[in-house]
């Protein structure tokens, strides 16, 4: 990965971390669910993380590493001794019952529910609990749905294992493992228990608000799988959301992030922000002559005609209008910015026609954004009064969006 890629990842992640800090209220809504706590969202990301999937797969493939702890249980019986005799209790019981055949003894038993096994069982059961609780929320994303399915299948197979599987299925998520059990798991020579220890410690760290661990978690489960151009679009969407929420004095609420979803990825006051989706206030104008010809050529080859949609759409749900749109182009070569800029402007003007019933095209374009990652500073610093504002990645990093918010809220 190049330095620029690292920088892009870091910018997106650090922006997300602002919304995922213990004590901050961030509403995350999906369907009928309303996750009022940002911590719960991070627990979901933990439950679908590589650490949990790796732990479950490791147990299935190396079940011989699961070792039972040996414990003794005090038993009472008649004539049969299965363990170490307890002479004092035996004499006392015989005197009480008057039966000389009565005995008390300590029977040894193998236990998969104590010590490091408790940490292992708790981690798997708690992740299963989280995934089952928010299954409907997670299934709307194809990527999440596939990952959740893999983890749930692994955990389901584990619960059918004799011995360790029975113990895990009976593990309660309350209370959590004791300090002694966690310490034993961390010091174990078995990779299985060390993996369980690492997963448990990760959960504790994100719950305590460890910023670096939250960044690592989101990078593996949310941002990392995205392509660079998608990360740049997401950075644009989040920065515009944060800047406009601050300018309007509304609290920014982040929703589960899924590209192309019909649900907004952020909400503040009456405003909704959509990523890779046209939003709800679209009208389809008559195609221009060039568009008609393009569509005819595509149909002649049996190719489906594509649908236009901006990268970012900001709507006012109360007024039922589109406030602004943005087009983002990610490029690393300084020689390529003119083509990227021309293409972005071309697309932005074309997309603005989709909203002319609610917002005049010239008004919408003046409020809109053209973001090209490597746009030269002299171009980005220009502020043509009637044109969309141009931004580069440095403008987004610094949050230099006051000129844009003034156009939205003069």
pLDDT of residue 67: 86
List, in order, residues 6 or more apart from 273 with CB less than 8 Å away. Answer: 237, 240, 241, 264, 265, 266, 267, 312, 313, 314, 315
Q: How many CB atoms lie under 10 A from the CB of residue 219?
A: 16
Q: What is the rounded average pLDDT of the residues 126-155?
A: 81
pTM here? 0.64
pLDDT of residue 31: 29
Residues 42 and 137 in one domain: yes
- What is the per-residue pLDDT across 42-56, written as a single tens digit (0 to 9) for each? 888 899 898 999 999
| Alpha-carbon gap, residue 144 to 81, rounded angstroms | 54
| Encoded tokens for 274 | 């959509």
Residue with more model confidence, 88 or 27: 88
Instruction: Give the range among 5-9, 38-42, 182-186 with minimum mean pLDDT.
Output: 5-9
The model's confidence at residue 203, banded by pLDDT at 50, 70 and 90, is very high
Measured CA to CA in angstroms, residue 21 lies from 42, 153, 205 at distances of 10, 31, 12
Residues 298 and 204 in one domain: no
CATH number at residue 310: 3.40.91
The model's confidence at residue 92, banded by pLDDT at 50, 70 and 90, is very high
Residues 36 and 153 in one domain: yes
Residues 34 and 146 in one domain: yes
Q: Which of 189, 205, 223 is the last residue of a domain?
A: 223
- What is the per-residue pLDDT across 102-116, written as a single tens digit (0 to 9) for each? 999 998 877 778 889
Number of domains in the chain: 3
* 168 three-class SS: helix
Instruction: Give the range among 14-23, 61-70, 118-127 with minimum mean pLDDT.
Output: 14-23
- What is the per-residue pLDDT across 231-276, written as a single tens digit (0 to 9) for each? 899 889 989 998 999 999 998 887 767 777 788 988 999 999 999 9
Buried b or exposed e, range 226-250, using 16+ CB within 10 angstroms: bebebbbbbbbbbbbbbbbbeeeee
34 pLDDT more than 50: no
**β pairing state of 69-78 and 102-111:** antiparallel
| Alpha-carbon gap, residue 169 to 343, rounded angstroms | 56
Q: Give yes or no for a contact between 259 and 230, defined as CB atoms under 8 angstroms apart.
A: yes
Residues 195 and 268 in one domain: no
Q: Where are the alpha helices (DSSP H) in 160-257?
A: 164-169, 179-187, 191-207, 211-218, 228-248
Residue with more model confidence, 11 or 157: 157
Instruction: Give the range among 11-20, 137-146, 380-389, 399-408 with minimum mean pLDDT.
Output: 11-20
Residues 211 and 252 in one domain: no
Radius of gyration for the chain, computed over Cα atoms and rounded to the nearest angstrom: 29
Residues 272 and 349 in one domain: yes
Domain hosting residue 90, numbered range = 69-111
Residues 269 and 382 in one domain: yes
Q: Which of 188, 223, 258 is the last residue of a domain?
A: 223
Tell me which residue of 46, 54, 50, 55 sits closest to 185, measured CA to CA.
55
| Alpha-carbon gap, residue 406 to 395, rounded angstroms | 16
| Alpha-carbon gap, residue 326 to 275, rounded angstroms | 10
Residues 126 and 238 in one domain: no
Residues 101 and 141 in one domain: no
Positive or negative torsion for Cα 353, 357, 360, 365:
negative
344 pLDDT more than 90: yes
Q: Which of 55, 89, 111 is the last residue of a domain?
A: 111
Residues 139 and 234 in one domain: no
| Encoded tokens for 369 | 């954004």
Residues 386 and 308 in one domain: yes
Beta bridge partners of 227: none
């Amino acid at each position: 990965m190049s330095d620029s890629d690292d920088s892009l990842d870091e910018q997106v992640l650090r922006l997300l971390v602002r919304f995922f800090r213990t004590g901050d209220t961030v509403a995350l809504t999906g369907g009928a669910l309303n996750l009022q706590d940002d911590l719960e969202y991070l627990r979901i990301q933990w439950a679908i993380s590589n650490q949990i999937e790796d732990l479950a797969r490791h147990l299935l493939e190396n079940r011989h590493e699961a070792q039972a702890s040996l414990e003794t249980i005090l038993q009472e019986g008649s004539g049969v001794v299965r363990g170490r005799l307890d002479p004092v209790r035996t004499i006392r019981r015989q005197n009480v019952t008057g039966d000389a055949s009565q005995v008390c003894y300590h029977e040894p038993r193998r236990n998969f529910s104590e010590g490091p096994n408790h940490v292992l069982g708790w981690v798997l059961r708690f992740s299963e609990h989280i995934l089952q609780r928010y299954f409907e929320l997670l299934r709307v994303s194809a990527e999440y749905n596939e990952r959740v399915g893999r983890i749930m299948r692994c955990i389901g197979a584990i619960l059918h294992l004799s011995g360790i599987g029975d113990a895990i299925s009976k593990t309660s998520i309350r209370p959590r493992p004791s300090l002694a059990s966690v310490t034993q798991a961390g010091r174990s020579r078995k990779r299985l228990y060390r993996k369980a220890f690492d997963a448990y410690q990760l959960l504790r760290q994100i719950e305590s608000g460890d910023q670096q661990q939250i960044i690592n978690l989101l990078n593996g489960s949310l941002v990392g799988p995205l392509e660079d151009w998608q990360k740049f679009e997401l950075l644009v969407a989040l920065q515009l959301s944060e800047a406009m929420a601050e300018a309007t004095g509304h609290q920014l609420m982040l929703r589960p992030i899924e590209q192309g979803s019909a649900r907004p990825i952020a909400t503040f006051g009456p405003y909704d922000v959509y990523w890779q989706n046209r939003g709800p206030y679209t009208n389809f104008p008559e195609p221009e002559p060039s568009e008609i010809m393009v569509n005819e050529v595509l149909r002649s080859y049996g190719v489906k005609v594509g649908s236009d949609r901006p990268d970012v759409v900001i709507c006012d749900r109360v007024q039922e209008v589109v406030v602004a749109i943005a087009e983002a182009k990610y490029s690393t070569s300084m020689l390529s910015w003119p083509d990227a800029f021309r293409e972005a402007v071309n697309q932005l003007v074309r997309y603005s026609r989709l909203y002319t019933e609610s917002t005049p095209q010239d008004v919408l374009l003046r409020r809109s954004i053209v973001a090209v990652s490597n746009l030269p500073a002299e171009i980005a610093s220009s502020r043509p009064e009637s044109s969309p504002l141009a931004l580069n990645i440095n403008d987004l990093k610094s949050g230099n969006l006051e000129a844009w918010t003034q156009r939205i809220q003069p």
